[in-house]
Structure 1
């Protein structure tokens, strides 16, 4: 029989693991954003040699499941790369999430950069700006406004994807739920409780996203 009292009592316990989940997601997002910007710039500028490497990187990480990538970094590569034996589950989760989402974010950022009016780039170069200055001062700020809502969606997806970290032995929100459910045999109550927590977090971030879109679009309204 469904035990509402157990579910409600379990929520404070699970919430104690929410900070770790958010820390993993935030760290992964920060690293992924930096990497995605670099990848996108290489794609836009079509840097000889590097462009092919970036295409292969994006193709691989978009074309294989995240869970496979996490297992690859935590269980597979340490067998052939000795120093990877020292990484723990949290580090492997951050690495996997970073590379996986950077591949998707790079394409979104590239599209945003390409969407900036070409005449602005030409004007910047005509007044003596270098390509780096043009990207940093003219193109990227405008591309950021376009890409921001999509990047926020990726962050939301990243928070939900941290639930796979428990497969690497990380006791984050999902890992804690699995242990509580296995110990009490109250699987329905435990997984419904964690679903509600994820739902509330995602809805809160959705509100932030809508306000961010409004703030970014205000300057462009006539």
Structure 2
């Protein structure tokens, strides 16, 4: 059994680190878009908007029921065959679209559950003083639901960061893609993938600290 090439791993650190901004960019943009989309879907599902509710239900079922990798391949390799204009779609954009739609489906159900978890009497009390459904959602229900859903949504953001590693299958050179290229040239696969694994681990641990802080902050807000 050969020992780990520590010197090689040390040289890999700045190489992989230089791709962290791209990884975070895809995750942050995907998370923001997914959150907006998920909130809209959740409201549609809660209000049972005719026709649109069934369309959203099918969307959620499809994106929760198929692997993310398959969805990425559909967007990047499949759809351009039907819509030639999509051939200009670059890997980063395709990855962001895939991440957005995939996680929006999961987050929509979490937000819907949080909305339904708010006591029904608050809907009735707000309606009794003449507030519309939109006003009740915006001013009373959604702020409470956000506190409930926040820890789960943070978990989805962590999952999204790890899922950006699939972008290398679309030709995107992010952290995983860079590790793959370095390993292919040196044949030191263990060292290369160990370095990228440590980077993902460090990022997730930092975010986990932030998640615990948010949970404590929200817990104190609810207690008051």
Q: What TM-score, normalized by structure 1, do the two folds share?
A: 0.98
Secondary structure of the corresponding residue to residue 131 of structure 2: coil
Secondary structure of the corresponding residue to residue 116 of structure 1: coil
Count of residues in correspondence between the two structures: 222
Secondary structure of the corresponding residue to residue 219 of structure 1: helix
CA distance in 2, matches of 1:219, 1:188: 46
1:114 matched residue in structure 2: 116
CA distance in 2, matches of 1:112, 1:150: 10
1:167 matched residue in structure 2: 169
1:181 matched residue in structure 2: 183
Which of 43, 55, 65 is the equivalent residue of 1:53?
55
Secondary structure of the corresponding residue to residue 173 of structure 2: coil
| 1:83 CA displacement | 2.0
CA distance in 2, matches of 1:221, 1:93: 40
Which of 23, 35, 38 is the equivalent residue of 1:21?
23
1:211 matched residue in structure 2: 213
1:134 matched residue in structure 2: 136
CA distance in 2, matches of 1:82, 1:10: 39
CA distance in 2, matches of 1:84, 1:124: 47
Alignment of 1:96-111 (within 5 A): 96-111=98-113
CA distance in 2, matches of 1:101, 1:156: 11
CA distance in 2, matches of 1:101, 1:85: 24
2:89 matched residue in structure 1: 87
Secondary structure of the corresponding residue to residue 171 of structure 1: coil
2:154 matched residue in structure 1: 152
| 1:86 CA displacement | 1.6
| 1:219 CA displacement | 1.8
Cα deviation 1:19-56 (Å, max 9, x = unaligned): 00000000000000000000000100011101110110
Structure 1: stretches of 5+ with no match in the other structure: none
**Are 2:198 and 1:196 equivalent residues in the alignment?**
yes
CA-based RMSD of the aligned residues comes to: 0.8
Cα deviation 1:91-139 (Å, max 9, x = unaligned): 0000000000000000000000000011111111111111111100000
CA distance in 2, matches of 1:55, 1:217: 32
